[in-house]
Structure 1
Amino acid sequence: MNTQENTIETTLHSLDNIQKLEVPVSLQFSIKNNFNRNRTTTMSASQKWMLSASVLVLLGLNIITITQYSKSSKKLTSVEEKNVVYKEYFSNTIE
C-alpha cells in the first residue's frame, strides 16, 4: 500500500477504540427535570394589546401597499398596451 492508503486506513481505524463517556447522575437528573418541567408562560394584558396593535399596523400597511401597487400596475399596463400596439404596427417596417 502507498502512504495515502495507509493514512486512510489509520484514520478509519482511529475510531475503533473510542469509549463512551459516563455522564454524572446529577447532570442526567437535572437535564431530565428541565425537559419535564411544565412552564406555562402567560402574557399580560398590555402585551396582548401591543401584539394586536402591531398585527393591525402590519395589516394596514399591507393593504395600503397592495392598493398602491394595483393602482400603479394599472397605469403601467395602459402605457404598455400603447407600446405593444406601436411595436406591432411598426414591426414590419423595422425589419
Structure 2
Amino acid sequence: MIRKAYDTDLNDQEWAKIEPYFSKHRTYKWPKRVLVNETLYVTKTGCQWRMLPHDFPLYLTVWSFFRRSMTTGWFQVNGRWYYAYSAQVPWQ
C-alpha cells in the first residue's frame, strides 16, 4: 500500500541528518524512516496510538519502535530539534 505524505513527515534533508542514529536499531518489516514519521505524527498531533491512520503500520509496531527509541534517548534529545525546526515551518 502506498502511504500518502503527512505534514509531520521528515523531508530528505531532515532524514539524512538523523538516519545514522537509527543504524543500530533492530531490523523491522517497515523502513525506519516510515516508523520515525509515524512516531512524529503521534507526538505532533497527539493522536492515540490505536487511532493511527490505516496507511500506517500497525500501532503496536510504531509504539514498540517509539518505546525502543525512548530508551536510547533519541526522541528525548532530537524530538526537541524536530519541534524547534517544525515550529519555524509555515504549515499549509
Bigger proportion of residues as helix: 1
* TM-score (norm. length: structure 2): 0.19
Higher RCO, 1 vs 2 (CA within 8 Å, ≥6 residues apart): 2
**Structure number with bigger Rg:** 1
